[in-house]
Structure 1
Amino acid sequence: MQISLSRRKKRRIRLFRFMLRSILLALILFGLFVLGLLSYTRMQGPPPIQVSQTTVLYGSDGAVIGEDQGDQNRYWVSFDEISPFVSDATVSIEDRKFYQHLGFDPVRIGGAVIANIKAGSSAQGASTITQQYARNLYLNHEKTWSRKWNELVYALRLEMNYSKEEILEGYLNTVYYGHGAYGIEAASNYFYNKTSADLTLAEAAMLAGIPKGPSYYSPIVDFDRAKSRQELILTSMVENGYLSKGEADAAKAEKLVFVEAEAKTSEMIGPYFQDVVTNQLTKLLDLGADELETGGYHIYTTLDPKMQKEAEHWVQQEMPDSDLQTSLVAIDPKTGSVRAMVGGVNYVESTYNRATQSEREPGSTIKPLLYYEALQHGFTAASTFMSEKTEFTYDEGRQTYSPTNFNDHYADDFITMQQALAVSDNIFAIKTHLFIGPDKLVTLADTLGLGTFNDVPSLALGSQAVSLLDLTNSYVPFANNGLYGEPQFITKVEDSEGTVLYEQEPQLQPTLDPASAFLMTEMMTGMFDPALNGYTSVTGSSVVPLLHRPVAGKSGSTPNDSWMVGFTPQLVTGVWVGHDRDQKLDQKSEGPISKKIWANFTEHALEGKLKLPFHEPEGVVKVDVDPQSGLLANDACPGGVPMYFKAGTEPTSSCASAEEQEKLEEQKQEKERFIDRFKKWFGQDDH
């Protein structure tokens, strides 16, 4: 009996020793495994944590004008910019031991393994916040053992290379809250129309409950279910020491107001403008379009949302329901900043930007550049030429050119340059062009960004194609004392962390003579002055009733195009109207549309702004001049108009009596008839 007990005792001791050794061996093996796993994950280094983020575009007033978000609406915010209620609520419901574990919770994993074995599947989850973050970054959502293993490895790599704060920040910025909102900032915007920094305790607890089932626990889908989960989260926050019971009860009682989903549909302001910005940035930052739209960039632009809406409104208001197209560009002459842009009647139907991609013949809108050069070469606003049907010979007599005035109307008399511009006399323009030398306009056009023009007589009438953006920008020096620069669309670009990648300051340079630029501006006010009516009306007479501030400009037309470029001291605006294909305009019904859009836009875009006069530089004088003869007005020829001159170039002779004037004009016609002088200059015979 004693021997039997002794043997049984020995067997128990051996079994105990075996079990102890087995446990120790298992612990050693497990320790070696953990050490090897940690060493492996350490050697792997920090895993990349970049994710696609919504790129945001801002207008000149700081308001959001558009977003490029790819397939995920996400805004990255730092941990310090997120309400602490959000992190406390999330940790309480998702992973209360978050700050103690190394990326995984062995107790939760053990419980999940047992539950899954019993269920015969891997349906039960036990993922920590770190594991969920790893899954969001690198893995899919399959419930398989291999995915779980990879999730564990990535979680360890995250824990070994990033702080708890960085991991929680990443999780909150990547987790899905439903309705297309990825990350806490997008969710705060979607549900409450506020930033995550401004969330109340009740709001934060509501959002913290959504990731477990974004469609199931959405308060917009089922408020009662979401409310029950919010109250569960508030209770858990009390249990975990984040709140007092009184604070939790107050949050449970708080009434939550959600933004209606349809009201959150963002409006894209200035889509044609935004396309230009995107194209410029892909070159400036050497990025692909897809990288730009999902890189979380903050792009600060020059667009004025109010002006843009006015531009789009007046395009819709004035354009007929037909295939007629239009474009509009508005530029701040003080900075060169593009404030508004319309590239077509409907962006959804056509993304082709007619303001930048289309080049058309500008017609008479080129004349201000020509007459500026004339002012630089001895002409004044009172300089005269004969307005009559004329055939010009050029290219050493080998070619002829016979331009006509609109509707074939001529003064058949001498007129001043100021009146010629106001009524858009083509004969006067060609004579001026040939008198000063065609190369002068070619050089100035190149200086003002219009490209390289051909040295031909028809250039004075806008026979070479330009874009609306370039043409409008070429008028900027007239509005700001001769300063010129490239049009600006972007002021600053920051990456998702706020680092400035690109910044643009206004770069306007002295380009035109300030005095001549002012004289040209004053001449361009003439298209709106009925006092300059002569053999025909001034070209802006139809829109004069719409204008209530000092403006200057020039209209232009070709058989296929209608243009209007005009400005105030605060804004330079150009409008084009025409057909995309080679189709003639109905000049009577379609021709005036560009002026109407321009006038209405200019008035309403500057509504509430000061009605400023154009800046008059030193060395300029104003006198009343007879618009036909170019002489000082008096009783013999009343009805003079104010004209500006560089001091010392103003007329000194006054109008004579009718008989004396007739004799003077006869003498002038005999002495100064342009064709005779032109032939003599180029060595041609008089016959």
Structure 2
Amino acid sequence: METVLIEHFKKARRLFRILLVLALLCTVCIGIAYISIFLYAKIAGPPTLTVPQTAIFYSSNGKVLDELHNGQKRYWVPLESVSDNIKEATLAVEDKRFYDHNGFDIKRIGGAIVADIKAMSKVQGASTITQQYARNLFLEHDKTWTRKFQEALYTIRLEFNYDKDKIFEGYLNTIYYGHGAYGVEAASKTYFNKKAKDLTLSEASMLAGIPKGPTYYSPLLHEENAKERQRIILNLLVDQGKISQKEADKAFVTPLFYAKKAQDEANAKKQDASYFMSAALSQLTNELGITEAMIHSNGLRIYTTLDIDVQKKAEEAMNTVMNKDSDIQTAFVAMDPKTGAVKALIGGRDYKKSPFNRATQAVRQPGSTMKPFLYYAALADGFTESTAMQSEETTFTLDDGVSTYKPSNYNSYYANNPITLAQAIALSDNIYAVKTHLFIGEHRLVETAKSLGVSTPLKQVPSLALGTSPVRVIDMVNAYGIFANGGKEISPTFIKRIETAGGDMVYEAPQEKKQIVDKRLAFLTTHLMTGMFQKELNGYTTVTGKPILKYLSRDYAGKSGTTPTDSWMIGYTPQLVSGVWVGYDQGKQIERVEEKAYAKKMWALFMEDALEGKKKQAFKAPKGLVSVNINPETGDIATKSCSKKYKAYYLTGTQPTTYCRDKGVSEEKNQAPQKQKEQDGFFHRLRDWF
């Protein structure tokens, strides 16, 4: 018996030794694992907390214009900018011991296991806020063991490298609240149209319940479910001593007013700047080096040049003028001529039906709106407002000596007499334009247009003077803006500045503008363009601005243009330049009389409305110019005996030296003989050429 007992004792001792060794081995393994995890967390360092954030576009008025978020609204706000109500409600329902554990709540895990065993299914979660944040920040929401292991590693890295407030801040900024809203700030705006720092207890207790089931607990979709969840959260706050029962009851019965319906209504009425936005995005990616990934994830604050009030007035002018039942299209651009800032843009009549941007993408024949570039080149080559040439039906023989070109004036009206440059542009005489084009050289118009920013290819042909090479609306408006600002270089600008979500400057539009054309000639070209609104320049036909004179109350410079398929009007004051194109997408001819008048009327109504209440500004002549009252039909200095009188401008020394006594009769005066000799030489060349 004793031998048996001894044998049992030996076996028990061996078993104890084995268990002890195993226990020691397990302890060592656990220690090694813990140390390994600790070392991993330290070596790996703090994980990045960067998450995609919504890019916000602002108008020049400082109002939110649009947000780009790929369906996910995200805004990062510091913890101190979040209401205590939402912080307490979130901790109460999600992780009440958050500030006491190290990322894993062992007590909660044990309770969840017991509850799941009792129910024979998974009925209670045990994830802490740190675990949820790790999952939201780095991982997919699948339920594999690999994902759970990775989540644990990320949780450890977060806890080892960040303090609790930083983790809680990250959680509140990344949790999904439904309806595309990620983070408490986005949720506050989506549901209540307010900032997270302003949430009441009632609102906070409602929001805190949504992440458990963003659809099931959405108060916009299932209000009963949401209210039941709100009651649970308020009771938890009472049990945890955060609020009194009286406060909970009051918060529960307080009516909540949700912003989504109001936002939908506001969005329906919101100014449609879709065409402007498409152009702004194009400039961001193609010119400023801002990638689409940055736009959709970096939380940029993008301040645009769009003036909402000006945009509204442009659309009102379009809707007032154009027949809503017609499928004729339009494009419109308004700019600040001093900076190139695009204040308003219309790329078509309905972005939803056709997102093609006719203001920036379409190329159309500009017609006579090309003539100011021609006459700028002519002024640089010695022409003046008094330069006269014959207006009559003409067939031109081209350089090859065989080919011919026979342009015509509108309705085949001709003066059949000499007319001055001042009158030629005001009446839009095509014969005068083609003669000028061929006289100074076809390359001169191409060079001038290019120097003013026209980017499309231009053919060196006689008909270019009449606008037969297609151009873009925005290029033409920008070029006219250069004349308006006195010859300084500008380019269409949609973005004023870009900032990070933290306020650091990423980009700012340059302010310095260099002189690219002679400011004296720019003013002379501008003055020529005021002629379309001057009745004194009426001749064999009326000035082209006559149909819209009744709408205008201030001084403008401008030029209209027509082709069988295109109608244009571009004009400006020192403060604002704008241009309108009207036509059919497929090149269908504009045949209806009222449609031919759309561009001019739309431009006139817009300019008057946009400038209403603003000081009237005149175009100021720079030094080096003199003004002379002339007879616009002969170009001579006007006298009391002249039938007409018009104020013209000249480079000093090039002003006329003959006085008008009657139509077609002049009296020579001895003024500046040397200059006169030079001027006579130029006119002799002109006369001999024709």
TM-score range, shorter chain: 0.7 to 0.9
- Once the two structures are overlaid, the 10-residue window that deviates more, 287-296 or 100-109, is 287-296
Quote the Cα distance in structure 2 between the aligned partners of 1:436 and 1:184. Answer: 68
Alignment of 1:211-360 (within 5 A): 211-223=211-223, 226-227=226-227, 229-230=229-230, 232-234=232-234, 236-237=236-237, 240=240, 255-261=255-261, 263-264=263-264, 266=267, 267=270, 269-284=272-287, 286=289, 289=292, 292-320=295-323, 321-360=325-364
> Which of residues 472, 477, 500 in structure 2 aligns to 1:472?
477
In the alignment, does 2:128 pair up with 1:111? no
Quote the Cα distance in structure 2 between the aligned partners of 1:217 and 1:453. Answer: 62
Report the CA distance shift for 1:218/1:658 in structure 2 as closer, same or farther (over 3 A): closer
Quote the Cα distance in structure 2 between the aligned partners of 1:680 and 1:642. Answer: 29
Q: Which amino acid aligns with 2:300?
A: Y
**TM-score relative to the length of structure 1:** 0.88
Alignment of 1:450-469 (within 5 A): 450-451=454-455, 453-469=458-474
Q: Tell me if the contact between 1:269 and 1:305 (Cα under 8 Å) persists in the aligned partners.
A: no
Deviation per CA, 1:423-455: give whole Å up to 9, x if none: 100111122223333332222112111145343
- 1:420 is aligned to 424
Quote the Cα distance in structure 2 between the aligned partners of 1:224 and 1:453. Answer: 67
1:597 positional shift: 1.7
Quote the Cα distance in structure 2 between the aligned partners of 1:287 and 1:484. Answer: 24
In the alignment, does 2:525 pair up with 1:510? no
Deviation per CA, 1:166-206: give whole Å up to 9, x if none: 22222112111122212112111111212223334443333
1:654 counterpart SS class: strand
Deviation per CA, 1:463-519: give whole Å up to 9, x if none: 222111111111112211221222211122234444433222234221222222222
- 1:628 is aligned to 633
Quote the Cα distance in structure 1 between the aligned partners of 2:136 and 2:478. Answer: 48
Q: Tell me if the contact between 1:381 and 1:645 (Cα under 8 Å) persists in the aligned partners.
A: yes
1:414 positional shift: 1.8
Quote the Cα distance in structure 2 between the aligned partners of 1:226 and 1:21. Answer: 56
- The percent of aligned pairs where both chains have the same amino acid is 48
Report the CA distance shift for 1:337/1:657 in structure 2 as closer, same or farther (over 3 A): closer
Q: Tell me if the contact between 2:374 and 2:437 (Cα under 8 Å) persists in the aligned partners.
A: yes
Q: Tell me if the contact between 1:358 and 1:467 (Cα under 8 Å) persists in the aligned partners.
A: yes
Report the CA distance shift for 1:116/1:251 in structure 2 as closer, same or farther (over 3 A): closer
2:318 counterpart SS class: helix
In the alignment, does 2:534 pair up with 1:521? no
Report the CA distance shift for 1:19/1:237 in structure 2 as closer, same or farther (over 3 A): farther
Q: Tell me if the contact between 1:89 and 1:204 (Cα under 8 Å) persists in the aligned partners.
A: yes
**TM-score relative to the length of structure 2:** 0.87
In the alignment, does 2:96 pair up with 1:96? yes
1:290 positional shift: 5.2
Quote the Cα distance in structure 1 between the aligned partners of 2:274 and 2:481. Answer: 24
- Once the two structures are overlaid, the 10-residue window that deviates more, 596-605 or 636-645, is 636-645
Report the CA distance shift for 1:195/1:534 in structure 2 as closer, same or farther (over 3 A): same
Q: Tell me if the contact between 2:305 and 2:496 (Cα under 8 Å) persists in the aligned partners.
A: yes
2:333 counterpart SS class: strand
Quote the Cα distance in structure 2 between the aligned partners of 1:524 and 1:285. Answer: 35
- Once the two structures are overlaid, the 10-residue window that deviates more, 285-294 or 623-632, is 285-294
- 2:587 is aligned to 582
- 1:4 is aligned to none
1:556 counterpart SS class: strand
Report the CA distance shift for 1:81/1:307 in structure 2 as closer, same or farther (over 3 A): same
1:249 positional shift: 7.2
Q: Tell me if the contact between 1:560 and 1:585 (Cα under 8 Å) persists in the aligned partners.
A: yes
Quote the Cα distance in structure 1 between the aligned partners of 2:79 and 2:255. Answer: 27
- 1:71 is aligned to 71
Quote the Cα distance in structure 2 between the aligned partners of 1:568 and 1:676. Answer: 37
Report the CA distance shift for 1:341/1:73 in structure 2 as closer, same or farther (over 3 A): same
Quote the Cα distance in structure 2 between the aligned partners of 1:293 and 1:53. Answer: 7
> Which of residues 548, 551, 557 in structure 2 aligns to 1:552?
557
- 2:578 is aligned to 573
- 2:676 is aligned to none
Deviation per CA, 1:384-416: give whole Å up to 9, x if none: 211111222331634332211111100111222
- 2:671 is aligned to none
- 2:5 is aligned to none
Quote the Cα distance in structure 2 between the aligned partners of 1:573 and 1:488. Answer: 14
Q: Tell me if the contact between 2:659 and 2:667 (Cα under 8 Å) persists in the aligned partners.
A: no
Quote the Cα distance in structure 2 between the aligned partners of 1:49 and 1:115. Answer: 34
> Which of residues 401, 407, 426 in structure 2 aligns to 1:403?
407
Report the CA distance shift for 1:422/1:679 in structure 2 as closer, same or farther (over 3 A): closer
Report the CA distance shift for 1:348/1:510 in structure 2 as closer, same or farther (over 3 A): same
In the alignment, does 2:393 pair up with 1:389? yes
Quote the Cα distance in structure 2 between the aligned partners of 1:17 and 1:109. Answer: 33
- Once the two structures are overlaid, the 10-residue window that deviates more, 9-18 or 139-148, is 9-18
**Cα-Cα RMSD:** 3.6
- 1:374 is aligned to 378
1:30 positional shift: 4.5
1:126 counterpart SS class: coil
Quote the Cα distance in structure 1 between the aligned partners of 2:688 and 2:539. Answer: 31
Quote the Cα distance in structure 2 between the aligned partners of 1:228 and 1:48. Answer: 37
1:325 positional shift: 1.6
Q: Tell me if the contact between 2:359 and 2:474 (Cα under 8 Å) persists in the aligned partners.
A: yes
Q: Tell me if the contact between 1:123 and 1:143 (Cα under 8 Å) persists in the aligned partners.
A: no
Q: Tell me if the contact between 2:105 and 2:128 (Cα under 8 Å) persists in the aligned partners.
A: yes
- Once the two structures are overlaid, the 10-residue window that deviates more, 140-149 or 78-87, is 140-149
Quote the Cα distance in structure 1 between the aligned partners of 2:666 and 2:144. Answer: 103
Alignment of 1:626-665 (within 5 A): 626-657=631-662, 660=665
Number of residue pairs matched by the alignment: 670
Q: Tell me if the contact between 2:643 and 2:662 (Cα under 8 Å) persists in the aligned partners.
A: no
- Once the two structures are overlaid, the 10-residue window that deviates more, 220-229 or 114-123, is 220-229
Contiguous gaps of at least 5 residues in structure 2? 1-7, 669-679
Quote the Cα distance in structure 1 between the aligned partners of 2:641 and 2:12. Answer: 139
Quote the Cα distance in structure 2 between the aligned partners of 1:45 and 1:569. Answer: 59
- 1:488 is aligned to 493
In the alignment, does 2:189 pair up with 1:189? yes
> Which of residues 433, 445, 449 in structure 2 aligns to 1:445?
449
- 1:160 is aligned to 160
Q: Tell me if the contact between 2:634 and 2:664 (Cα under 8 Å) persists in the aligned partners.
A: no
1:151 positional shift: 2.8
Quote the Cα distance in structure 2 between the aligned partners of 1:446 and 1:331. Answer: 19
Quote the Cα distance in structure 2 between the aligned partners of 1:581 and 1:373. Answer: 33
- 2:540 is aligned to 535
Deviation per CA, 1:204-226: give whole Å up to 9, x if none: 33322322232343333455654
- 1:198 is aligned to 198
Q: Which amino acid aligns with 2:635?
A: G
Q: Which amino acid aligns with 2:67?
A: E
Deviation per CA, 1:632-652: give whole Å up to 9, x if none: 333322331222333443334
Q: Tell me if the contact between 1:122 and 1:144 (Cα under 8 Å) persists in the aligned partners.
A: no
- Once the two structures are overlaid, the 10-residue window that deviates more, 96-105 or 86-95, is 86-95
- Once the two structures are overlaid, the 10-residue window that deviates more, 190-199 or 642-651, is 642-651
Quote the Cα distance in structure 2 between the aligned partners of 1:164 and 1:599. Answer: 62
1:557 positional shift: 1.1
